[in-house]
Structure 1
Amino acid sequence: MAPQSLHLTLANLLIPVAILTFAAGFFPYKPFMPGLATFEELRWDDKWDWQRRGTPERKFDRLVFMVVDALRSDFVYGNGSGMEFTQSLIRDGAALPFTAHATSPTITMPRVKAITTGSIPSFLDVILNFAESDTTSTLAAQDTWLAQLRAQDGGKGRLVMYGDDTWLKLFPGFFERQDGTSSFFVSDFTEVDNNVTRHVPGELLNTDWNAMIMHYLGLDHIGHKTGPLGPNMIPKQVEMDSIVRDIYTAIENEEHLENTLFVLAGDHGMNEGGNHGGSAPGETSPALVFMSPKLKKITEFTDRTSPAEPKGEFEYYKKVEQSDIAPTLAGLLGFPVPRNNLGVFIEEFLFLWDDASDRIQLLLRNAEQVKKIVEATYPNLYFGYDRKDFKTDCGQSLSDGEKLACKWSGVVDIMGTFATIHPRLRISQLYWFLRAAQETMSTTASNYDVSKLVLGTSIAFAAFSLAFFSLNRTRPFSFTGIFFTLTLLLYGVLMFASSYVEEEQNFWYWMTSAWFFYLFMQASREAWQSWFIFHPAIVLLFLHRITRRWNQTGQKFAGAPDIVHSSLFRGSSSVVLWSLIGACYMDITMRLARHVARSVAGKDDPPGKDGKVEETNEGERLMGMMAVFPLGATAFVFKLAFTVNDAPELTRGIAHGMLYWAASLELVGLARMVFGGIALVTGWMVLYEWRASRARMSSEQGNGNLAVSLFDLFTLFLITQTKAENIPLYLIFRMQTFLLSFLDLSPTAISLTSLLLGQTTFFALGNSNAISSIDLSNSYNGVSGYNVLAVGALLFASNWAGPIYWSLVGVLLLGSHGRKQRHIATGELDARDWVAVEREHLIKLAEREKEGAERRQDPGAWRQHVGLLTLFISGATVAVMLACTVLRQHLFIWTVFSPKYLFAMAWGVGHHLGVDVLLGGCLWWLGTW
């Protein structure tokens, strides 16, 4: 192996090693205290003047915990909400409403962990949330309120669970009865919820459980598909409200349920696009409602207005931390606070106990449990019970740990010295410590393994260096190389600014515009000069402008007007959208028909005796169209049927009869027909080109038709994985590909162009660096059950469809450039004639190469192409790693930089190694047939 090839191979092998090494140090599992907490004797007892001993009496002996996925606060509390019965309970005093603050990442698994343990979960749970088969994230060994409920009454506690199977993965073997549903069938608005509801009436009559957990998914799925204002949102809220009514009515009427606490909670909210995962106010503001007739006793809660007006953005009533649920349930249901809890008992519920000593004891047990975590975090500080250095200010000059130690000394002082002090002052002092500890410990940086961060970054830099040495640097440094270097340097610098990471799309939009303008300036001296407005680079700039306006993404402009959400495609204008979608499918069907027609007629290779390639006639083209038309039509029908069920607002204006017929079709079967048809045509084309290549002379080179055929087939697959409103973009991509073939791009320029357009279209299709932008809607096309490989591949293809497309276009342009150079070198084709040949992109060259003159595609060009892409991805990865390491104490480390690193992992492993290197390499090799 040549040294340059060896360097490139090692560089690509080191990229995943670097990424995984850094991730192991950046996303470690947080340590936790094992075992279940137990009630311990309070060390303050002999200093109290109250005579009561023992734990406070529990107020409830059963729990119904109903989670509605993505139940944003305004869905329950706001004007126009469909949850009118729940609002009536708030007005009557039987329900205490709160807005729960859900910390980022706002994904189901970490939020369920926060709710059940009271702790702050690891950001790594974002990845585990998508790995449904993962078992390493189990909470079976951790202290949770579920484990405490099971341990009650001598271990006789029994739990039942229905809904999102995330709970079954987190708590294996915990439930007496269970029925889980997958959370990733986001097109299912009804069955996932009906499967939960059908169990409710029977369980409300059973007396053998002390906790029933339900997790409804339909509202979240509606949000993903149509946003918070979608037509199905209010009916779903009404449905959830009817379930609340049924459960509360049973609590009022069934004797065995009279001491039941009913909790309605959202695990997270959603943004204006209906997604979640980030830290936007809508995503971090789920509703939290405690319901029971007993709560009418709490007259101190005076804000009973419902519906209500928000105090801030999505902030209704009092705001509490989601982790506060765990200690609050512990007090209300009479079990110890879970060991790893950072939550604080919600103050309003203290008034269920008349005796002040009970109220103080609840908070004191909460405070002692939190203090143990603080002690473990700051082992060099003293938190003893004999402190006498009580300070009233605990000022700014102290470190975080010292401030907590100072505030704990205040607890020691007020609990142990003044026996007759008013209970309210003790409660205030305890809350002073608890809330300070919660804030400090919740924002304390993860237990980073800095050595692994440095090692991972070093390995990535080694990959960058090897990629650099793999490049052919014998040629003079061109402007293209300067532009490439400038792009990489600017990108690296911008990774250190949170606002630029959030709005990264603007960087790529401007760099791509600058590159197209340079291509125009470079070629302006040619004949295009007098017709500059029709110059390919100018038209590319115009099309690029349309592309960047298609979807407004990022954070700042996410809700700004764009083409997708304009009246152009909505309402009765959806006919325009489907006309463009139909044109896109027709274009690709016709191209596939030409490929099949040539293969059926056998008119590609070898050429006739006169050295000419015979054109396909009308009949043969008709045969090709008849062969592939069913595939194109099925793909179009699938997309229509999928959209009717998925986003019906995009199909208004289409004949009702057609929509009714499309809605009745079975989507999994249709998708499998499309994928099967693509596989069948792929097999046919490969078989034909293989036979044709064997018929050539050994020195002859294929014309690249197979590579183009497979590219078109893969484009059909990518369209299938794309949301309907984005499919017309592929017409623009097709025009841009056509225009690029007119430009005399060097191999380096081709690599840079495919890189820029790949990054640009990632954002143009609606993606961003926020986890909430990940689209799950097409991840189950053709899949009837969860399969981690199939769902993962479809999920990646649907979100990286644009970059995949342009990565493959780069391979085709590179192969086309190589054939062009060979024909010019042999004197068979003038450089100016190549434009005409490219215009008929799929027609074979007119004459056979002179024997021995043709040679295989230059492997050096492919190595240079992969080397440039490897250089960029390794350099970009180094920049992201450095930013995450240097800014690991930054306020936005978990909301901006950590999600960016997850995307960097996907770009480095999924796109670069999977698409640029493996898939692109296969296409390059097949282009030699």
Structure 2
Amino acid sequence: MARFQTLSLVLANLLIPAAILVFATGFFPYKPFMPGLAVYEKLGWEEKMGWTKEPEPQFDRVVFMVVDALRSDFVFSSESGMSFVQGLIRSGAAIPFTAHATSPTITMPRVKAITTGSIPSFLDVILNFAESDTSSTLAAQDTWLAQLKAKQGGKLVMYGDDTWLKLFPGFFERADGTSSFFVSDFTEVDNNVTRHVPDELLNSDWNAMIMHYLGLDHIGHKTGPKGPNMIPKQIEMDGIVRDIYEAIENEDHLANTLFVMCGDHGMNEGGNHGGSAPGETSPALVFMSPKIKKITEFLVRESPIEQTSDFEYYKKIEQSDIAPTLAGLMGFPVPRNNLGVFIPEFLHFWDEGTDRARLLLHNAQQMKKIIEANFPAYSFADEVQEMDCEGSLSSGKELACKWQKAVQVMSTMATIHPQLRVQYLYDFCRTAQEIMSSTASNYDVPRLVFGTALAFLSVVLSVLAIRPDIRNPSFSGLFYTLTLILYTVLMFASSYVEEEHQFWYWLTSAYFFALFLSSVQKQWLPWPILHPAVMLLVVFRIARRWNQTGQKYAGAPDIVHSGVLEWGNNIVLWSLVGAAYMDNTIRLSRHVARSIANYWNADAEDGESERFMGTMAVLPSGVTAFIFKLAFTARDAPELVRWPNPDMMHWLESVDLVLFARMVFGGLGLSAAWLIYAEWRKSRSPKHVKGSGALALSLFDTLTLILLTQTRTSSLPLYLLFRLTTFFLTHLSTYSPSTSLSPTTITTTTLLLTHTSFFLLGNTNSISSIDLSNSYNGVAGYNISLVGLLLFVSNWAGPIYWSLAGLILLGAHGSRAHNIDVSEMDARDWIAEERAHLVRLADAEKEKGERRTGWGAWRRHVALLTLGQAAAAVAVMGACTVLRTHLFIWTVFSPKFLYAMAWGTGFHLGVTVGVGGGFWWVGGW
């Protein structure tokens, strides 16, 4: 039976990544594109009508300035710091828009949309974080950069976000790229761009200069859209616009230069992006040039204007409209994969109606080729044909009818007002844009179904792995089952996916309350208010209020932003942070002291000299870790460090963060190596007692110090609450023997707290909540493996902590069931100090059939967690399959699937099974 259970569990865990991979290939296929550069093509009837000359271009060069996360209100509202840009709008030298950015609102897919005019694949969310990735390059695709470079003498220069260098390798004559992921830098990352501007404005050898400023986005990530650094940064960007515009006015070689300033995306009220909140999808877009006054002579625009709740200022256009508009204004063919439409305001540059119609005709012809590839069953001939366009029409038939109407109007020799031709062409282009943009992915439905079926098979195998335990269901087992059922149902509701934290918060609170009620029913309690389960509820309530998370209330008041932690120059915050580091350092020093004592004499208790040596061995790592966090925060979030001594602040700002982080990791690595060696040496003693878990507990405390280093400073005090939670969990049995933590109870608690802690630390199911700030700790340059690992640890620090803490609790339970002599465990350890009080429960637990020890206990624990992970995968995949045509498929369900991928592979297989298996082995339980 045991072998069958083990085999079922192994197969169940192998099927989870297989299911995710199969489903992902059907859900996120690479979208096909037409290679090569577009060229002007003439229709036969164009020559008959005398349309032989292309419309004259209005500009011969472009300055394209991207300000990362430039939300529309940062430019257009009365609270903006960009007064010069607003003055240009009032004078008619600038035309403003709100450019709608479709989800995912992160840099790489947005740059693709801006340059190609197409709708990028959602898979670019993953590729956006892989800086070494070359599969996402646009080198083979048609873009306005490729068209400008192909022009005679075409040269491009680029400064700023190195995403452009990855997307366009070998395109730029001169370039200086900057990594976009070190979000702690507000100034240097922009100064590195600005320093090139004066010289380039004096050069005349380029026809496109791209600048991508990152500082404003970094400020948003760290302090939000209303942070103290936001207005100064807007003023700085405004000054750069002033310098460039004045150069265009004064330099002869820049006389025909178009200046475009835009955001690649916006940000939400929490300062993040990646989702579909109005603030995230509403970046500003401004076209500027003295020549623009020609078409705005009789048009008066107010600026600034009052702030709006939906961030829609002036006219709203699609971000993809930038590509065909630049093509028309600068005189090159529309990129082949474009789904954008020429912005009508700029048609007034051409006085002749035929020129306006020809510009739109080129746009329509290019879009027609994409439509023909997607709807091959319908005719999109360039000759007049009879078509039945009455009644309800399919998308393909509707587009075919609209194209035919445009052909009829364009090819007629009769005298027709030019505006009528323009209207028919716009009707076709806008309809094509709407239909083709909504066709976000060609789903491979059989793969979706097969992937979901594999995940369901993993559920079945997981159930088989725990089949003997199903016969005697317990309260915790029933609660576990109810959790999985509710979770599966809720995954089909977009609002619940966005606010998933509420599900785990309420469920965890209900579970702790149920533990309390169980004690009250079985035994009279003299002081119920002091019951550990009640204290768990109190601690959990505080933890819930620490970080406001989710989508609807992002940026709402919480403990972190209430001002309490900032009292007295942030003394409250840093006192709590220092307490977290001190608590962990003291516990780690005790482990080292005990190992030193065991090294010299395996039967000895650690004395004063060993404790002193242990403290001296661990204290440098603890102090260095604290100093690193202080110095990192001084640069990452300076508002959290208000040191009264200027010399101290200067010293903190001069600290080599990479060196200090490496010192922390190196010191902890040496400590872990010594602990492993000392335990190995001790294990050779004939009096060594197996199953004490001393080494596992030591390594757990070592890893906790790493988790502290990888957690945002404002969330670090939560680890003190985590410690209190483990303390009260271990006291449940001491306070009331009837509420002892059985293996099923421990596993259920682990499931609840791993998911709950993920949200407690400020995470959500939106890409916008991914924290990048700690991904470069100890890394001098970009290394995808190291940065990826640090990124995962930073965002899953809470679940990692509770996954391993659950094993410690389970191991302690197994030690009690075996009546193991725990005297060798240091009585001051956070779990071992309670074991002596809990040994008396062993016999009662055996009678209840709760005895679970050795690898059997770990296998049962992992089997239950595998069941939970497989069920979650089935729920998410099923929701994405059933709701694949849902309005929120790319804004809510797709990001949730990406998180499910991380939970299923990185966390479950990597941490629960991989790291957890190692912990159980070294614990010897």
Judged with a 3 Å threshold, the aligned counterparts in structure 2 of structure 1 residues 605 and 491 are, in CA distance, closer, same or farther, namely farther
Does residue 414 of the first structure (1) align with residue 405 of the second (2)?
no
Q: Which deviations, in whole Å up to 9, do the C-alpha atoms of 1:39-79 show, x marking residues without a partner?
A: 0113442564xx45221011111111111111111111122
Partner of 2:880: 884
Judged with a 3 Å threshold, the aligned counterparts in structure 2 of structure 1 residues 182 and 460 are, in CA distance, closer, same or farther, namely same
- Output the CA distance in 2 between the equivalents of 1:332 and 1:135: 31
1:410 is displaced (CA, Å) by 2.2
- Output the CA distance in 2 between the equivalents of 1:442 and 1:558: 29
Q: After superposition, where does 1:238-277 map in structure 2 within 5 Å?
A: 238-277=235-274
- Output the CA distance in 2 between the equivalents of 1:274 and 1:447: 33
- Output the CA distance in 2 between the equivalents of 1:844 and 1:741: 9
Classify the secondary structure of the residue corresponding to 1:264. strand
Partner of 1:813: 809
Classify the secondary structure of the residue corresponding to 1:741. helix
Does residue 62 of the first structure (1) align with residue 61 of the second (2)?
yes
Partner of 1:7: 8
Partner of 1:466: 461
- Output the CA distance in 1 between the equivalents of 2:250 and 2:829: 79
Question: Given the alignment, which residue of 584, 587, 604 partners 1:588?
Answer: 584
Q: Which amino acid aligns with 2:692?
A: N
Does residue 731 of the first structure (1) align with residue 720 of the second (2)?
yes
Question: Given the alignment, which residue of 283, 287, 307 partners 1:286?
Answer: 283
- Output the CA distance in 2 between the equivalents of 1:426 and 1:448: 37
Deviates more, 1:418-427 or 1:479-488: 418-427
Question: Given the alignment, which residue of 362, 381, 403 partners 2:378?
Answer: 381
Judged with a 3 Å threshold, the aligned counterparts in structure 2 of structure 1 residues 10 and 434 are, in CA distance, closer, same or farther, namely same
- Output the CA distance in 1 between the equivalents of 2:173 and 2:653: 38
- Output the CA distance in 2 between the equivalents of 1:847 and 1:125: 53
Give the gaps of 5 or more residues in structure 2. 733-739, 840-850
- Output the CA distance in 1 between the equivalents of 2:627 and 2:613: 22
1:514 is displaced (CA, Å) by 1.3
Deviates more, 1:355-364 or 1:547-556: 547-556
Question: Given the alignment, which residue of 698, 703, 708 partners 1:709?
Answer: 698
Q: Structure 1-normalised TM-score?
A: 0.94
Overall identity of the aligned pairs, in %: 67
Alignment: residue pair count: 905
- Output the CA distance in 2 between the equivalents of 1:78 and 1:438: 29
Partner of 1:650: 640
Q: After superposition, where does 1:915-926 map in structure 2 within 5 Å?
A: 915-926=911-922
Does residue 841 of the first structure (1) align with residue 835 of the second (2)?
no
Q: Which deviations, in whole Å up to 9, do the C-alpha atoms of 1:668-690 show, x marking residues without a partner?
A: 11111111111111111111111
Judged with a 3 Å threshold, the aligned counterparts in structure 2 of structure 1 residues 3 and 359 are, in CA distance, closer, same or farther, namely same
Partner of 1:852: none
Classify the secondary structure of the residue corresponding to 2:176. strand
Q: After superposition, where does 1:10-409 map in structure 2 within 5 Å?
A: 10-45=11-46, 48=49, 51-153=50-152, 156-299=153-296, 302-310=299-307, 313-389=310-386, 397-409=392-404
Judged with a 3 Å threshold, the aligned counterparts in structure 2 of structure 1 residues 843 and 486 are, in CA distance, closer, same or farther, namely closer
Does residue 623 of the first structure (1) align with residue 613 of the second (2)?
yes
Q: Which deviations, in whole Å up to 9, do the C-alpha atoms of 1:788-826 show, x marking residues without a partner?
A: 011111111111111010000011011100001111xx7
Q: After superposition, where does 1:707-786 map in structure 2 within 5 Å?
A: 707-743=696-732, 744-786=740-782
- Output the CA distance in 2 between the equivalents of 1:390 and 1:451: 35
- Output the CA distance in 2 between the equivalents of 1:624 and 1:598: 8
Deviates more, 1:130-139 or 1:591-600: 591-600
Q: After superposition, where does 1:392-791 map in structure 2 within 5 Å?
A: 397-417=392-412, 419-474=414-469, 475-525=471-521, 529-570=525-566, 572=568, 574-602=570-598, 606-607=602-603, 614=605, 616-652=606-642, 655-697=645-687, 700-743=689-732, 744-791=740-787
1:427 is displaced (CA, Å) by 1.2
Q: Which amino acid aligns with 1:170?
A: L
Q: Which amino acid aligns with 1:66?
A: M
1:498 is displaced (CA, Å) by 0.5
Classify the secondary structure of the residue corresponding to 2:422. helix
1:172 is displaced (CA, Å) by 1.1
Q: Which amino acid aligns with 2:455?
A: A
- Output the CA distance in 2 between the equivalents of 1:872 and 1:604: 46
- Output the CA distance in 2 between the equivalents of 1:302 and 1:668: 55
Is the Cα–Cα contact under 8 Å of residues 743 and 852 in structure 2 kept in the other structure? no
- Output the CA distance in 2 between the equivalents of 1:838 and 1:597: 12
Q: Which deviations, in whole Å up to 9, do the C-alpha atoms of 1:152-201 show, x marking residues without a partner?
A: 13xx3111111111111111111122221111111111222222222222
- Output the CA distance in 1 between the equivalents of 2:553 and 2:286: 33
Is the Cα–Cα contact under 8 Å of residues 165 and 183 in structure 1 kept in the other structure? yes
1:600 is displaced (CA, Å) by 2.1
Is the Cα–Cα contact under 8 Å of residues 730 and 831 in structure 2 kept in the other structure? no
1:747 is displaced (CA, Å) by 1.1
Judged with a 3 Å threshold, the aligned counterparts in structure 2 of structure 1 residues 15 and 701 are, in CA distance, closer, same or farther, namely same
Q: Which deviations, in whole Å up to 9, do the C-alpha atoms of 1:335-365 show, x marking residues without a partner?
A: 0001110000000110111111101100111
- Output the CA distance in 1 between the equivalents of 2:875 and 2:442: 22
1:301 is displaced (CA, Å) by 7.3
Judged with a 3 Å threshold, the aligned counterparts in structure 2 of structure 1 residues 829 and 360 are, in CA distance, closer, same or farther, namely closer
Q: Which amino acid aligns with 1:249?
A: E
- Output the CA distance in 1 between the equivalents of 2:313 and 2:838: 76
- Output the CA distance in 2 between the equivalents of 1:11 and 1:604: 46
Classify the secondary structure of the residue corresponding to 1:183. coil
Is the Cα–Cα contact under 8 Å of residues 334 and 363 in structure 2 kept in the other structure? yes
- Output the CA distance in 1 between the equivalents of 2:38 and 2:72: 32
Q: Which amino acid aligns with 1:706?
A: L
- Output the CA distance in 2 between the equivalents of 1:491 and 1:856: 28
1:617 is displaced (CA, Å) by 3.6
Q: Which amino acid aligns with 2:651?
A: W
- Output the CA distance in 1 between the equivalents of 2:148 and 2:831: 72
- Output the CA distance in 2 between the equivalents of 1:789 and 1:286: 32
- Output the CA distance in 2 between the equivalents of 1:829 and 1:605: 18
Judged with a 3 Å threshold, the aligned counterparts in structure 2 of structure 1 residues 182 and 562 are, in CA distance, closer, same or farther, namely same
Q: Which amino acid aligns with 1:917?
A: V
Partner of 2:866: 870
Q: Which amino acid aligns with 1:6?
A: L
Is the Cα–Cα contact under 8 Å of residues 411 and 429 in structure 1 kept in the other structure? yes
Judged with a 3 Å threshold, the aligned counterparts in structure 2 of structure 1 residues 630 and 843 are, in CA distance, closer, same or farther, namely farther
Judged with a 3 Å threshold, the aligned counterparts in structure 2 of structure 1 residues 303 and 892 are, in CA distance, closer, same or farther, namely farther
1:451 is displaced (CA, Å) by 1.7
1:572 is displaced (CA, Å) by 3.7
Q: Which amino acid aligns with 2:36?
A: G
- Output the CA distance in 1 between the equivalents of 2:599 and 2:627: 32
Is the Cα–Cα contact under 8 Å of residues 547 and 760 in structure 2 kept in the other structure? yes
Classify the secondary structure of the residue corresponding to 1:188. coil
Does residue 928 of the first structure (1) align with residue 924 of the second (2)?
yes
Partner of 2:791: 795
1:403 is displaced (CA, Å) by 2.1
Is the Cα–Cα contact under 8 Å of residues 66 and 211 in structure 2 kept in the other structure? yes
- Output the CA distance in 1 between the equivalents of 2:552 and 2:294: 45
Give the gaps of 5 or more residues in structure 1. 609-613, 849-854
Classify the secondary structure of the residue corresponding to 1:195. helix
Classify the secondary structure of the residue corresponding to 1:576. helix
- Output the CA distance in 2 between the equivalents of 1:503 and 1:301: 49
Classify the secondary structure of the residue corresponding to 2:332. coil
Q: Which amino acid aligns with 2:635?
A: N
Deviates more, 1:617-626 or 1:132-141: 617-626
Classify the secondary structure of the residue corresponding to 2:324. helix
**Structure 1 vs Structure 2 CA RMSD:** 2.5
Q: Structure 2-normalised TM-score?
A: 0.94
Is the Cα–Cα contact under 8 Å of residues 71 and 269 in structure 1 kept in the other structure? yes
- Output the CA distance in 2 between the equivalents of 1:835 and 1:504: 40
